[in-house]
Amino acid sequence: MRNTIILLLLFLVVSCNNKQFFKNSTIKELSSRGDSEIPSVYGYLSMFVLVDSNQVAKTSIEDLWIMYKFDYVSTYKKFETFVFEALNQKLIFKRGYIEKRNGDVFSLSQKIKLEYEKSGISYLLNHYSKNRGNDLEIIRGSLSFDELRTIQYYFFINNYMVMHDDLIGTYYVKPFPF
């Protein structure tokens, strides 16, 4: 009986550490467009990865390709595997490393984090976004930089594409179609 309980606890710990945010088809599609010669058709999307010191960084598929090509190709045989690990929050980057590669490092807002943990993504959708055509626009209002990035991060790990219209300074989100 004792061994059964220990095995169940071990299984629970391993299961909790194997959280997968993105479907394999999403990772495959995103990583199939990475190349240093031809810009990715997904270069406009914000991607989020974990950074040491309990921080997060906003990056792009192109920046991930450069990191892979120059620093991770010997660790991961395929770019797709590297992207899988990075986007599913299994790979933790050093702050200095990610900043040198155009990563925008930030700390999760405790306020937004508590709202998400208590009420989930539906609360963030209802409270911080509004319909704008086929997309949802993030309502910036008086959000701080970390609050805005934290909302984007939670949308991202819940399978939403995060896009920035830098012409008018607006952020849009919509579910990944693949």
Any domain includes 14: no
Q: How many domains does the chain have?
A: 2
* pTM, full prediction: 0.86
At 109 the pLDDT is: 98
pLDDT digits (tens, 9 = 90+) for 127-139: 999 999 889 999 9
The answer on 176 and 118 residing in a single domain is yes
How far is it, in rounded angstroms, from Cα 64 to Cα 139? 28
Per-residue H/E/C for 7-42: HHHHHHHHHHHCCCCCCHHHHHHHHCCCCCCCCCCC
CB 135 within 8 A of CB 162: no
* pLDDT band per the 50, 70, 90 thresholds, residue 117: very high
The answer on 166 and 138 residing in a single domain is yes
The answer on 26 and 97 residing in a single domain is yes
Q: Which two tokens stand for residue 10?
A: 């071990």
pLDDT digits (tens, 9 = 90+) for 102-113: 999 999 999 999
Rg value, the chain, Cα: 17
At 149 the pLDDT is: 98
The answer on 160 and 131 residing in a single domain is yes
Q: Which domain range does residue 129 map to?
A: 108-178
In the chain, % of residues over pLDDT 90: 76
